[in-house]
């Protein structure tokens, strides 16, 4: 029982970065502009958040500047795609590589590190608890003492659902993706709506990145994101950006991630469990593509 | 006659804007370094000497360039047919590993046959790794951007397991195989450099790809598929089969890149020896508009750039990671070059 609860707890912690990024990806997906740059946005937010945290000694500053860094990348992305009409896939992939280069350059040039940053001065995200659950042992382990972005990420599912389906903004957002003619006819600017989607989406990825460095690991590493941006993209594609499907898919991947880290390495070599999330992504996207409205990138060109 | 002149002029204009955009990006790079405290004069000297000061350094640049050319073609061929292959890194790793297996464990063959066998094994290894994303894309419409990237991570883990456990070189502290047999080694062309006679294999392969692209129906069908698949299907192109084929060829080319690294440069398989070069290939394919000739030019520029940063680090203390930043900037500018030049002409006219 105890190990099961521990395992579920680990799953929830690992769900958060995927959930945050995928929810962000959903905003752009429903607006008809798939976010291919999530990997890079997460990485740069993780780095900037960590650096600001240990230079200012404040996790709030780290969180704010991490998110701002990701939004900055999102604005560059939007500028190239919306203003210069460049291919969204090409720019997204380029930005991912650019951010990888920028992150590697910064830690090498300014901190003389090759692959990671670890500072004792870093203030990590605080943990939060609901005191009335503390009495029950199992509930306490399962629901308490998470770093602050974990409960927030689950709250944001609800927020995103309301925004998408209960607000005018969500209506226009979805219209920009599915019925552009109607949007232009009503005098709204598609680019304006999509710009908002870029900003929100990158901010969510920023939260995901900061959670990885300041919440989950407590350090920064170049391999920290490890494809999560693309796993998040897969999650978004499953449900065509529906926040509830995103939540379910993120939980499945969170469980796979947790399982991959908890299979004892004495039994099998460590590489095999680590393959799990990637194999599940391929399997899932293969099976789901049969049902979901899949976007086929290159046929649009 | 007039029409050909016009075509010639557009090609010339395209080429000019392409080259001048790259020049602009390089100037931007100089400016970035200048702000960082390195005078352009020193930068130029350090960068130039790290590629052109000796035949050894030049050879290393060429060696880097052939890897980049291969991974760029690996992305460009599927691109032509309208499929993304971002799995160059994984295909390179698997190809390199297959080649290393043949190189290490097959014995008693004369060099030509041994090398030939290893090259074929390497290309098959790369193609096999491309089969999975190609299959699920064409059968189930599974997004290949996601699957090829997942395959990269999987390849790193699979080869990581293989060279850490069953095929680890006895007594080695690193994750690598034993050295390949002498008969499988591609001869060094310049002493101590990474450049081997693999260069000739790449030249032959490059000509073959150009021929395929320009002179055969495959090349034509890919181009039609990539530009207008509705029309292609109507015209009788077996679209799925051609796309599948393009992915396999892409995988084989990336596998060849890994093979030449193994047989020519390192003489063994080393974990993560590609160092993410596959992504660079995707970017080059994008900006070269899948043209083999442009790929050659851009690969040379990128190889010189990444070589130069070694000199910059040694002399001026600029981290080598700077080159990947500059490469991405070049790509962003080239993708949007028509807007950039339109903007600049507008600015000039306003004066």
- Tens digits of per-residue pLDDT, A147-166? 899 999 999 999 999 999 99
A53 close to A61: Cβ distance less than 8 angstroms: yes
Cross-chain residue pair B157–A296, CB shorter than 8 Å? no
What was the pLDDT predicted at B217? 84
What was the pLDDT predicted at B340? 79
Segment holding B96, helix H or strand E: helix B88-105
Instruction: Give phi and psi for A57, each to the nearest 5.
Output: 75, 25
Strand pairing partners for A147?
A127
Separation of alpha carbons A23 and A189, rounded Å: 23
Question: Could you give the 3-state DSSP secondary structure of residue B36?
Answer: coil
Give the model's confidence band at A299: pLDDT under 50 very low, under 70 low, under 90 confident, else very high: very low
Interface membership of B313 toward A (CB under 8 Å)? no
Give the model's confidence band at A134: pLDDT under 50 very low, under 70 low, under 90 confident, else very high: confident
Region A75-96: mean pLDDT is 92
Here the CATH number for the domain that contains residue A262 is 1.10.3470
Separation of alpha carbons B127 and A40, rounded Å: 28
A262 close to A7: Cβ distance less than 8 angstroms: yes
What was the pLDDT predicted at A43? 97
What was the pLDDT predicted at B224? 78
Cross-chain residue pair A285–B165, CB shorter than 8 Å? no
Residue A297 has pLDDT above 50, yes or no: no
Question: Could you give the 3-state DSSP secondary structure of residue A260?
Answer: helix
What was the pLDDT predicted at A277? 87
Does some domain include residue A199? yes
What was the pLDDT predicted at A259? 86
For residue A88, the tally of other CB atoms under 10 A from its CB is 22
Segment holding A13, helix H or strand E: helix A2-30
- Identify the CA nearest to B29 among candidates B280, B306, B337, B347: B306
Does some domain include residue A77? yes
Per residue in B45-59, pLDDT tens? 888 888 888 888 899
Residue A292 has pLDDT above 70, yes or no: no
Question: Could you give the 3-state DSSP secondary structure of residue B228?
Answer: coil
**Residue A246: domain span:** 2-120+141-300
Does some domain include residue A136? no
Tell me the chain A residues in contact with residue B327 when contact means C-beta distances shorter than 8 Å: 97, 101
Per residue in B167-225, pLDDT tens? 998 888 888 999 999 999 998 888 888 899 999 999 999 999 999 888 888 888 887 77
B49 close to B239: Cβ distance less than 8 angstroms: no
Does some domain include residue A134? no
> For chain A, how many structural domains are there in total?
1
Give the model's confidence band at A181: pLDDT under 50 very low, under 70 low, under 90 confident, else very high: confident
What was the pLDDT predicted at A295? 45
What was the pLDDT predicted at A296? 40
Question: Could you give the 3-state DSSP secondary structure of residue B176?
Answer: strand
Number of H helices, E strands in chain A: 12, 4
- Residue in chain A nearest B134 by alpha carbon: A286
Separation of alpha carbons B154 and B151, rounded Å: 5
Task: Kindly report which listed range (A124-128, A133-137, B328-332) carries the lowest average pLDDT score.
Answer: A133-137
Interface membership of B344 toward A (CB under 8 Å)? no
Burial of A7 from C-beta contacts in 10 A (0-12 / 13-18 / 19+): middle
Separation of alpha carbons B181 and B268, rounded Å: 10
End-to-end CA distance of chain A: 53
Residues of chain B predicted below pLDDT 50 = none
Residue A300 has pLDDT above 60, yes or no: no
Interface membership of B332 toward A (CB under 8 Å)? yes
Interface membership of A294 toward B (CB under 8 Å)? yes
DSSP characters over A76-90: HHHIIIIIS---HHH
Instruction: State what percent of residues in chain A have pLDDT above 70.
Output: 95
Please state the pTM of the whole predicted model: 0.88
A191 close to A82: Cβ distance less than 8 angstroms: yes
Interface membership of B82 toward A (CB under 8 Å)? yes
Interface membership of A36 toward B (CB under 8 Å)? yes
Cross-chain residue pair A275–B229, CB shorter than 8 Å? no
Separation of alpha carbons B170 and A231, rounded Å: 37
Task: Kindly report which listed range (A148-157, A172-181, A290-299) carries the lowest average pLDDT score.
Answer: A290-299
- Residue in chain A nearest B136 by alpha carbon: A286
Domains observed in chain B: 40-350 (1.10.3470)
Region A99-118: mean pLDDT is 90
Does some domain include residue A130? no
Give the model's confidence band at A54: pLDDT under 50 very low, under 70 low, under 90 confident, else very high: very high
Cross-chain residue pair A274–B157, CB shorter than 8 Å? yes
What was the pLDDT predicted at A45? 97
Question: Could you give the 3-state DSSP secondary structure of residue A189?
Answer: coil
B140 close to A284: Cβ distance less than 8 angstroms: no
Is the torsion defined by CA of A95, A100, A101, A106 positive or negative?
positive
- What's the longest Cα–Cα distance across chain B? 75
What was the pLDDT predicted at B62? 93
* 8-state DSSP, B196: B
Tell me the chain A residues in contact with residue B282 when contact means C-beta distances shorter than 8 Å: 93
What does pLDDT average to over chain A?
A: 88
Separation of alpha carbons B298 and A125, rounded Å: 44
Residue A87 Cα, gap to closest chain B Cα (Å): 8
Complex-level ipTM: 0.86
Does some domain include residue A127? no
Residue B150 Cα, gap to closest chain A Cα (Å): 5
Separation of alpha carbons B347 and B341, rounded Å: 10
Interface membership of B83 toward A (CB under 8 Å)? yes
Does some domain include residue A125? no
Is the torsion defined by CA of B149, B279, A27, A232 positive or negative?
positive
Separation of alpha carbons B51 and B303, rounded Å: 9
- Sequence-separated (6 or more) residues with CB below 8 Å from residue B228: none
* 8-state DSSP, B84: -
Residue A257 Cα, gap to closest chain B Cα (Å): 14
Instruction: Give phi and psi for A146, each to the nearest 5.
Output: -90, 150
Q: What is the CA radius of gyration of chain A?
A: 19
Tell me the chain A residues in contact with residue B286 when contact means C-beta distances shorter than 8 Å: 87, 90, 93-94
- Residue in chain A nearest B82 by alpha carbon: A298
DSSP characters over B301-341: HHHHHHHHHHHHHHHH---TTHHHHHHHHHHHHHHTHHHHH
Within 218-257 of A, beta carbons closer than 8 Å to B belong to: 226-227, 230-231, 233-234, 237
B115 close to B180: Cβ distance less than 8 angstroms: no
Separation of alpha carbons B180 and B267, rounded Å: 6
Tell me the chain B residues in contact with residue A298 when contact means C-beta distances shorter than 8 Å: 79, 82-84, 226
Interface membership of B148 toward A (CB under 8 Å)? no
Tell me the chain B residues in contact with residue A237 when contact means C-beta distances shorter than 8 Å: 143, 146
């Amino acid at each position: 029982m105890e190990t099961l609860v521990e395992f579920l707890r680990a799953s929830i912690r690992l769900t958060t970065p995927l959930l945050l990024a995928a929810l962000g990806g959903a905003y752009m997906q429903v607006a008809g502009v798939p976010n291919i740059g999530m990997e890079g946005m997460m990485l740069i937010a993780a780095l900037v958040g960590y650096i600001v945290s240990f230079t200012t000694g404040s996790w709030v500053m780290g969180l704010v500047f991490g998110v701002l860094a990701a939004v900055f990348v999102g604005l560059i992305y939007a500028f190239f795609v919306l203003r210069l009409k460049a291919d969204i896939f090409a720019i997204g992939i380029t930005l991912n590589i650019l951010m990888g280069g920028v992150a590697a350059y910064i830690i090498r040039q300014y901190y003389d590190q090759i692959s990671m940053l670890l500072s004792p001065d870093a203030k990590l995200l605080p943990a939060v608890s609901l005191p009335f659950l503390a009495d029950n042992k199992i509930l306490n382990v399962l629901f308490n003492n998470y770093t602050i972005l974990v409960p927030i990420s689950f709250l944001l599912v609800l927020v995103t659902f309301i925004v998408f389906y209960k607000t005018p903004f969500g209506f226009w957002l979805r219209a920009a993706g599915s019925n552009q003619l109607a949007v232009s006819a009503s005098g709204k600017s598609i680019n304006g709506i999509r710009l908002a989607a870029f900003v929100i989406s990158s901010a969510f990825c920023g939260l995901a990145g900061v959670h990885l460095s300041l919440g989950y690991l407590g350090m920064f590493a170049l391999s920290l994101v490890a494809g999560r941006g693309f796993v998040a993209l897969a999650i978004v594609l499953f449900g065509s950006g529906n926040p509830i499907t995103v939540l379910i898919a993120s939980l499945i991947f969170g469980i796979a991630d947790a399982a991959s880290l908890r299979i004892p390495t004495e039994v099998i070599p460590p590489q095999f469990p680590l393959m799990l999330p990637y194999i599940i992504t391929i399997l899932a996207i293969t099976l789901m593509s049969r049902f979901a409205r899949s976007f086929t990138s290159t046929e649009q060109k | 006659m007039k029409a050909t002149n016009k075509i010639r002029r557009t090609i010339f204009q395209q080429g000019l804007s392409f080259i001048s955009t790259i020049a602009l990006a390089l100037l931007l790079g100089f400016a970035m370094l200048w702000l960082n405290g390195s005078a352009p004069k020193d930068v130029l000297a350090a960068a130039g000497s790290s590629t052109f000061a000796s035949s050894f350094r030049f050879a290393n640049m060429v060696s880097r360039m052939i890897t980049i050319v291969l991974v760029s073609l690996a992305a460009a061929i599927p691109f032509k047919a309208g499929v993304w292959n971002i799995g160059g890194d994984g295909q390179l790793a698997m190809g390199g590993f297959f080649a290393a297996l043949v190189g290490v464990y097959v014995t008693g063959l004369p060099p030509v046959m041994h090398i030939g066998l290893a090259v074929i094994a390497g290309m098959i290894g790369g193609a096999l790794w491309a089969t999975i994303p190609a299959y699920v894309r064409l059968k189930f419409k599974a997004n290949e951007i996601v699957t090829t990237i997942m395959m990269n991570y999987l390849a790193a883990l699979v080869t990581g397991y293989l060279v850490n456990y069953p095929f680890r070189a006895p007594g080695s502290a690193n994750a690598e195989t034993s050295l390949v047999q002498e008969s499988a080694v591609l001869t060094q062309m310049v002493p101590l450099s990474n450049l081997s006679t693999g260069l000739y294999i790449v030249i032959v392969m490059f000509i073959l790809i150009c021929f395929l692209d320009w002179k055969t129906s495959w090349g034509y069908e890919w181009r039609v598929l990539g530009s207008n698949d509705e029309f292609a299907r109507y015209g009788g192109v077996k679209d799925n089969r051609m796309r599948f084929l393009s992915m396999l060829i892409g995988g084989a080319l990336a596998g060849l890149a890994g093979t030449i690294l193994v047989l020519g440069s390192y003489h063994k398989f080393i974990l993560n020896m590609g160092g993410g070069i596959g992504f660079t290939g995707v970017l080059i394919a994008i900006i070269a508009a899948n043209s083999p000739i442009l790929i050659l030019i851009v690969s040379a520029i990128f190889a010189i750039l990444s070589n130069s940063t070694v000199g910059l680090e040694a002399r001026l203390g600029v981290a080598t990671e700077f080159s990947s930043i500059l490469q991405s900037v070049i790509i962003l500018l080239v993708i949007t070059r028509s807007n950039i030049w339109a903007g600049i002409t507008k600015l000039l006219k306003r004066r």
